[in-house]
């Protein structure tokens, strides 16, 4: 009996020591409890790839994280047949994005000597296959993979990584060129995003030239600073650089009466001073302590910042320190005549109309009226949802994901049928190099 008790205690201790907890489904199958996985703890991802909508997927064990924030989910929820083959992780993954290639928009997953090909989240007939059959000349047990279109590479190719070896696989001729990228660390996963190339190693990353492997600038850097939306960051993080260069979408953006810009993301915001373009970063909890974190929309009116979070409106003085006005917060419905939450809000220069965006609908609120009423409802043609918007003397900037779009007026924004030129937030708004 003592031996049995000792054995049971040992087994329990081993289970508690595992990095993931487990839950049992109706079929008595054990699955990882995805709530245990926290990307902000510095996980080393097994693979990273864009999906067909350009959203990064981060793979860890039999889970994946979609985009830059949110909890993990089982990868068989998106790629069901992987479970049929008892995959508990993938070695590498990439999205084939060459429009003239027969397998355009396919996603490939690699494990050991096998490759899986998915189209619209369905496993292609005949897969999995041997890697050597689909990609002749490419070794088994890969570390990472990524696509590289011409002219960013000499020809349209897939770059495969295994330890110190790098293989450029020509997707048209199937020729393989083996290279050594001496200045690069060994990649545990790799990603092409916004025409830049990233090698992840542990929870760090380096940006590199896909032709030569050269790494320019101060690398490695924290992946959590740029590719994740986390409350807390490494003590070694440069907070201004993180907010400048992050690819995570903005929650809200506005300019105060002095022309100083405020851009909000998660628990942090970045301020750019008018005239000298100085950038500073701070936490909402420090500067707007009643908000704590995560605002839905912000607009400036009458020398005050109007900050919307859920169904509440907070009004702060836009001069520092940002004091909350007496009596606030109040309900968005009471103050603006529209139910919260909302997606974006902006007021154009020297005007007193707040433009309120919910989904693909926009309302006008006369801020000098009492009571205020949301009226003139219109449908936005180009976007189902936006993240943020601001208006100044140059027109309206609309923020979606990692990009923004410029329109000459609110009317043009609402009525437009074709997307204007796409601008990168990190590069063109904040002067980051990627």
Consecutive H or E run containing 245 = helix 239-245
Question: Is pLDDT at 234 greater than 80 in this prediction?
Answer: no
Write down the pLDDT at residue 235. Answer: 62
Question: Is pLDDT at 32 greater than 70 in this prediction?
Answer: no
pLDDT tier, 22 (very low <50, low <70, confident <90, very high otherwise): very low
Question: Is pLDDT at 265 greater than 60 in this prediction?
Answer: yes
- Cite the beta strand spans of 214-326 per DSSP E: 221-222, 252-255, 261-265, 268-272, 279-283, 297-301, 304-309, 312-317
> Beta partners for 362?
357, 378
Write down the pLDDT at residue 236. Answer: 62
pLDDT tier, 181 (very low <50, low <70, confident <90, very high otherwise): confident
DSSP state of 309: E
Segment of 203-217, 222-236, 338-352, 409-423 carrying the highest mean pLDDT: 409-423
Range with the lowest mean pLDDT among 212-221, 321-330, 406-415? 212-221
Write down the pLDDT at residue 95. Answer: 94
Question: Is pLDDT at 411 greater than 90 in this prediction?
Answer: yes
Q: Cα–Cα distance between 226 and 246 in angstroms, integer?
A: 4
pLDDT tier, 47 (very low <50, low <70, confident <90, very high otherwise): very high
pLDDT (tens digit, 9 = 90+) per residue, 103-133?
Answer: 888 999 999 999 999 998 899 999 999 999 9
* Structural domains of the chain, with CATH: 40-227 (2.110.10.10), 250-429 (2.110.10.10)
Range with the lowest mean pLDDT among 7-11, 54-58, 218-222? 7-11
More confident residue, 352 or 34: 352
What are the Cα distances from residue 276, in Å, to 270, 316, 325?
Answer: 15, 24, 29
Per-residue tokens: 363? 């309302």
Of the chain, the percentage scoring pLDDT greater than 90 comes to 59
Write down the pLDDT at residue 231. Answer: 67
- Characterize the bridge pairing of strands 114-119 and 106-111: antiparallel
Write down the pLDDT at residue 39. Answer: 82
What integer is the mean pLDDT of 168-191? 91
Segment of 62-66, 78-82, 134-138, 162-166 carrying the highest mean pLDDT: 134-138
Question: Is pLDDT at 4 greater than 80 in this prediction?
Answer: no
pLDDT tier, 76 (very low <50, low <70, confident <90, very high otherwise): confident
Write down the pLDDT at residue 357. Answer: 98
Write down the pLDDT at residue 378. Answer: 97
Range with the lowest mean pLDDT among 31-45, 242-256, 283-297, 409-423? 31-45
What integer is the mean pLDDT of 148-171? 94
Write down the pLDDT at residue 17. Answer: 36
Closest by CA position to 216, among listed 185, 188, 183, 245: 183
C-beta atoms surrounding 54 within 10 Å: 12
pLDDT tier, 293 (very low <50, low <70, confident <90, very high otherwise): confident
Question: Is pLDDT at 208 greater than 90 in this prediction?
Answer: yes
List, in sequence order, the alpha helices (H) in 268-344: 284-287, 332-336
Segment of 95-109, 153-167, 219-233 carrying the highest mean pLDDT: 153-167
pLDDT (tens digit, 9 = 90+) per residue, 316-374?
Answer: 998 889 999 999 999 999 999 999 899 999 999 778 999 999 999 999 999 999 999 99
DSSP string, 62-118: TEEEETTSS--EEGGGTSTHHHHTT-S--SEEEEE--TTSTTTTEEEEEETTEEEEE
Match 């006369």 to its residue by tokens.
366
Write down the pLDDT at residue 151. Answer: 93
Question: Is pLDDT at 3 greater than 80 in this prediction?
Answer: no
């Amino acid at each position: 009996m003592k031996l049995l008790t000792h054995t049971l205690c040992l087994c329990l201790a081993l289970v508690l020591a595992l990095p993931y907890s487990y839950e049992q489904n109706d079929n008595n199958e054990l699955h990882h409890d995805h709530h245990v996985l926290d990307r902000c703890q510095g996980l080393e991802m097994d693979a990273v790839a864009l999906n067909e909508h350009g959203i990064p997927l981060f793979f860890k064990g039999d889970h994946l994280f979609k985009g830059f924030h949110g909890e993990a989910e089982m990868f068989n929820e998106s790629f069901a047949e992987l479970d049929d083959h008892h995959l508990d992780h993938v070695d590498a993954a990439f999205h084939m994005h060459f429009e003239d290639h027969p397998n355009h928009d396919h996603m490939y997953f690699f494990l050991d000597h096998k490759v899986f090909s998915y189209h619209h989240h369905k496993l292609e007939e005949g897969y999995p296959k041997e890697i050597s059959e689909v990609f002749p000349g490419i070794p088994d047990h890969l570390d990472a993979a990524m696509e590289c279109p011409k002219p960013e590479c000499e020809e349209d190719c897939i770059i495969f990584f295994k330890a110190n070896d790098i293989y450029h696989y020509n997707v048209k001729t199937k020729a393989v060129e083996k290279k050594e990228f001496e200045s690069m660390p060994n990649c545990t996963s790799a990603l092409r995003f916004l025409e830049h190339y990233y090698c992840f190693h542990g929870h760090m990353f380096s940006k590199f030239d896909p032709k030569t492997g050269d790494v320019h600038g101060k690398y490695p850097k924290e992946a959590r600073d740029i590719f994740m939306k986390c409350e807390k960051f490494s003590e070694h993080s440069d907070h201004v650089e993180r907010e400048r260069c992050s690819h995570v979408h903005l929650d809200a953006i506005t300019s105060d009466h002095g022309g100083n810009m405020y851009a909000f993301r998660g628990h942090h915001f970045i301020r750019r001073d008018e005239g000298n373009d100085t950038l500073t970063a701070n936490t909402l909890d420090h500067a707007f302590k009643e908000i704590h974190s995560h605002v839905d929309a912000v607009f400036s009116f009458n020398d005050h910042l109007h900050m919307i979070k859920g169904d509440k409106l907070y009004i702060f003085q836009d001069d520092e320190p940002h004091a909350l006005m007496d009596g606030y917060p109040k309900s968005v419905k009471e103050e603006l005549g529209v139910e919260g939450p909302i997606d974006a809000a902006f007021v154009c220069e020297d005007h007193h109309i707040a433009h309120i965006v919910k989904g693909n609908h926009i309302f006008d609120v006369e801020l000098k009226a009492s009571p205020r009423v949301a009226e003139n409802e219109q449908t936005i043609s180009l976007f189902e949802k936006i993240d943020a918007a601001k208006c100044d003397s140059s027109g309206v900037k609309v923020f979606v994901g990692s990009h923004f779009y410029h329109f000459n007026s609110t009317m043009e924004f609402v009525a437009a049928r074709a997307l204007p030129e796409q601008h990168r937030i990190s590069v063109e708004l904040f002067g980051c190099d990627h």
